[in-house]
């Protein structure tokens, strides 16, 4: 991937950690709306954001899963997961939404290297 103008957005928050994940995803959407190539990387607790069977939380707490599912409409087709954090949660790529793809440490490093800009939430 060349450094065209790629914005790498690193998300480390799990669902229902207050509004944190939702606001991180908003940054993804804004980047895409601005027509920039946006690459999402979910690390740490953030891998849980890509689990497919999420429900809304306690009364009033919306699920972020609909936003994840809608990213494709914004030309964000692949959602990257750090393999190390997937394994640490006792899961594997098959447990996540279809557009999720796990990356090993070297590939994660490459994502950072190839990005023009990085934002971490």
Partner 1 sequence: MRYALLVMGAPYSSQAPHSALRFACALLTQGHTLDSVFFYQDGVHNASFLMTPPQDEDNLYRQWLALNDEHGVALDVCIAAALRRGLLNEAEAKRHGQPGYNVAAPFELTGLGQLLELQQRCDRVITFAA
Would you tell me which residues interact with partner 1 (CB under 8 A)? 7, 19-20, 23, 26-27, 30-31, 33-34, 36, 117, 119-121
Shortest Cβ distance from residue 119 to partner 1 (Å)?
7
Nearer to partner 1 among residue 24 and residue 102 (C-beta): 24
Nearer to partner 1 among residue 14 and residue 100 (C-beta): 14
Phi, psi of 66 (to 5 degrees): -55, -35
How many Å from the N-terminal Cα to the C-terminal Cα in the chain?
23
Shortest Cβ distance from residue 28 to partner 1 (Å)?
10
d(CA 83, CA 80): 9
What is residue 82's three-state secondary structure? strand
Nearer to partner 1 among residue 38 and residue 47 (C-beta): 38
Phi, psi of 71 (to 5 degrees): -60, -30
d(CA 58, CA 64): 13
Shortest Cβ distance from residue 34 to partner 1 (Å)?
6
Shortest Cβ distance from residue 94 to partner 1 (Å)?
32
- Cα→Cα distances 14→87, 94, 107, 111, Å: 16, 18, 22, 21
Nearer to partner 1 among residue 113 and residue 117 (C-beta): 117
């Amino acid at each position: 991937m060349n450094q065209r103008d790629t914005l790498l957005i690193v998300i480390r928050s799990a669902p229902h950690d207050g509004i944190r994940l939702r606001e991180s995803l908003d940054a993804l959407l804004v980047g895409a709306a601005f027509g920039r190539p946006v690459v999402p990387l979910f690390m740490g607790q953030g891998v849980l954001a890509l689990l497919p069977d999420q429900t809304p939380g306690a009364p009033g707490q919306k699920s972020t899963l609909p936003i994840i599912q809608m990213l494709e409409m914004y030309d964000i087709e692949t959602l990257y997961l750090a393999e190390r954090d997937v394994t640490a949660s006792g899961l594997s790529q098959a447990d996540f939404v279809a557009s999720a793809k796990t990356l090993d440490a070297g590939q994660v490093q490459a994502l950072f290297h190839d990005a023009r800009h990085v934002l971490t939430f």
